[in-house]
Amino acid sequence: MGAVDTPQREHKQKKGASGGKLKRRKHRIGVRVDMTPMVDIAFLLLIFYMVTTVFSMPQSMELNLPPKAKEGEEPPLPIAKSKLMEIMVDASGNIFWLHSAKGEADMELPEYVKIKDLQPLMIRKYQEEPKLVVVLRIDPECRYDMMVNIIDELQYIERMFKQTDPNWSLRFSLQDMTQWEFELMERAKANLTNLNTPTKAEGGTS
């Protein structure tokens, strides 16, 4: 609030020796602003922004890993080869797939596929076998975003198939890379030349 300082009353001026009146001094009116209410407004604005502000949530991906079998428990039911497809990714981000369709000869070595061709491949496989189970095996030294990209492709395919069949569900699992998968990929890479090679920027986990 503003406040005005009013001047005090002045005593009558005495006449000078010549009989004339002396000049009165001009008194300026003092104005001062009370800043106390501004403190309340500042706190009200601060509380308002704290209540109405929406903080960005961390982007994360929820993964439900299957529990490891304990001693004495019965092993899980086996899955037929025609309904099981393995996707393997090495440390450099090279993707290989292994699936023996029903009525076809078993694949001896996995085949290389680029990330851009993975989605058409998976769509074709799911059209051939709707109950296909995907096992995703990724090298621990591979970049984390490679796993995210592959899972995104699978989730996109699931949304696409659900448009025609709401009860359709995609089943996939994350499994550890075993020595057998490492050997299969090394044997498959021996005949290929257009593979990614690890660099200082790409090597190691992100």
Structure tokens at 4: 């005005």
Q: Is the pLDDT of residue 26 over 80?
A: no
Residues in the chain: 206
Q: Is residue 150 part of a domain?
A: yes
CB 142 within 8 A of CB 134: no
| C-beta atoms surrounding 183 within 10 Å | 10
- Each residue of 83-118: pLDDT tens digit? 889 999 998 889 999 888 776 777 788 899 998 999
Whether residue 54 is contained in a domain is answered as no
- For residue 116, what is the domain's CATH number? 3.30.420
pLDDT at 9: 53
Name residue, tokens 């428990």. 73
Structural domain harbouring 176: 81-189
What was the pLDDT predicted at 57?
A: 66
| 165 DSSP assignment | -
Locate all alpha helices (DSSP H) within the chain, ordered by sequence: 36-52, 115-128, 144-162, 179-189
Is 149 among the domain residues? yes
- Say what the pLDDT of residue 7 is: 52
Angle between helices 115-128 and 144-162 (to 10 degrees): 40
- The Cα–Cα gap between 112 and 115 comes to 10
Q: Is residue 33 in some structural domain?
A: no
DSSP E strands in 2-118: the ranges are 2-5, 30-33, 84-89, 95-98, 111-113
pTM: 0.59
**Contact 204/99 with Cβ under 8 angstroms?**
no
| One-letter amino acid for residue 41 of the chain | I
Q: Is 31 domain-assigned?
A: no
In the chain, the number of structural domains is 1
- Report yes or no on 134 lying in a domain: yes
Domain membership of residue 112 (yes or no) is yes
Does a structural domain hold residue 184?
A: yes
